[in-house]
Amino acid sequence: MRLLLSLGLLLSLLFLSGYIQVSHGHNITEILAEHPEFSTFNNYLTATHLAGEINRRKTITVLAVSNAGMAPLLAKHLTVSALKNVLSLHVLVDYFGAKNLHQLNGGTAASSSLFQATGTAPGTTGFVNITNHRAGRVSFSAEDVADSAPVNFVKSIEEISYDLAVIEISSVLSSPEAEAPTPAPAQVNITTLMSKKGCKTFADLLVATGDAEMTFESNVGGGLTVFCPIDRAMKAFMPKFKNLTADGKLSVLLYHGIPVYNSIQMLKSNNGVVNTLATDGTAKNYNFTVQNDGEVVTLKTTVMVATITGTLIDEDPLAVYMIDAVLEPRELFKPEKAKAPAPAPAAEAEAPTKSRKRHHASPPAPAGPEEAPAGDEKAANDENAAGGRACAEPWVAAATAVAVAAVMVA
């Protein structure tokens, strides 16, 4: 009797510890490691850095393929980035346990995959159709592939209710779009990319300033995250930029790069101080703080706050995000309040309504008279006309308003 009791206690402890571990997050590598028949799939999740992306997310379904099922895919000798696209089609950003699959509303569902979510999929090619057929058969297909051999649900491997489902499917989901060779991120010309997507002024400065461009390019291989200020913000900043010494100019530009790859998910979940390309390790200078508020990610120097308003590229090892203000390091700029009583900025700080009206602009930075609101609005309209950030507007405005309020309270 006593033996039985303690056995029960032991079992419930084991269950409890398992449960606690699970509630602190899942680790797809460890889950699949318990099933050697998926070792190839598991290895490639790690090699393509998809494992990290899966572990960071909640509400996700992994469609695992056995070693035998992986063989035809490997025989295609795809590049790592194409292989990553194909595998990311096997990670659905929704929860489908075995029970959900057999009880689909209306018998079908279209789920977005990581291929879609990372923005590399053209059109709707990153969606996966799920169909519940007669006699309990459930099939999967990439949305752009009409008549390929059916890929069927085989069995459930592990399910953590409404958090993570790992299920086996009979073979690899094929998609010509996913398998198409993509340029390796290392081959992306960062300045050309930025010029095309709304950060031309910043890109031109990188090319024109000493070895700034080379510093950025040479860091891509090891991982790089760039925050490029939109043209309007950069143009308003130019008088201040021209005032800096050659070293100051270079430092401000390098301050916009972090020598580590950060996906948008990582920025949303890891808050804290980060070093930049301008940081001198021994001096611990030129850092800023990444802080998220829900889906909004802000970058805070002690002088000002910028908000991420868009993604130009997010493909390990390179990420480039658009921000709504030029990052001003404390090493070169002073917060507005500590500044000499220049009449215009002081008045602005005391008039919250005016600041709110100018929500397109950066939070109170040491603005000079040349940054007149009228010109600002015109520039902002030009930006919208060009399709720059129209869709991101409402939440950016809200976030900036909050950021402005926070700065003013501080």
Residue ranges binding ligand NAG (CB under 6 A): 27, 29-30, 55, 110, 129, 141, 143, 145-146, 189, 191-192, 207, 217, 239-240, 243, 273, 284-285, 287, 330-331, 368
Contact 368, 240 (CB under 8 A): yes
Q: Please report how close the Cβ of residue 86 comes to ligand NAG at its closest, in angstroms.
A: 16
Q: Tell me the three-class secondary structure of 254-302, residue by residue.
A: HCCEECCCCCHHHHHHCCEEEECCCCCCCCCCCEEEEEEECCEEEEECC
Token output for 399 = 């976030």
Nearer to ligand NAG, 299 or 396 (CB): 299
> CB neighbours (10 Å) of residue 129?
15
Nearer to ligand NAG, 371 or 383 (CB): 371
Closest CA to 165 of 60, 36, 13: 60
Q: Please report how close the Cβ of residue 29 comes to ligand NAG at its closest, in angstroms.
A: 4
Q: Can you name the residues that pair with 307 across neighbouring β-strands?
A: 298
Contact 229, 21 (CB under 8 A): no
Nearer to ligand NAG, 27 or 156 (CB): 27
Determine how β-strand 60-64 pairs with β-strand 91-92: antiparallel
Q: Please report how close the Cβ of residue 272 comes to ligand NAG at its closest, in angstroms.
A: 8
> CB neighbours (10 Å) of residue 204?
15
Q: Please report how close the Cβ of residue 88 comes to ligand NAG at its closest, in angstroms.
A: 18
Q: Please report how close the Cβ of residue 350 comes to ligand NAG at its closest, in angstroms.
A: 21
CA distance 263 to 261: 7
Q: Which residue has the tokens 């009797």?
A: 1
- For 239, list phi and psi in degrees, rounded to 5: -55, -40
Nearer to ligand NAG, 188 or 308 (CB): 188
Nearer to ligand NAG, 129 or 265 (CB): 129
Q: Which residue has the tokens 């024109």?
A: 208
Q: Please report how close the Cβ of residue 393 comes to ligand NAG at its closest, in angstroms.
A: 28
CA distance 156 to 143: 23
Nearer to ligand NAG, 192 or 384 (CB): 192
Nearer to ligand NAG, 245 or 353 (CB): 245
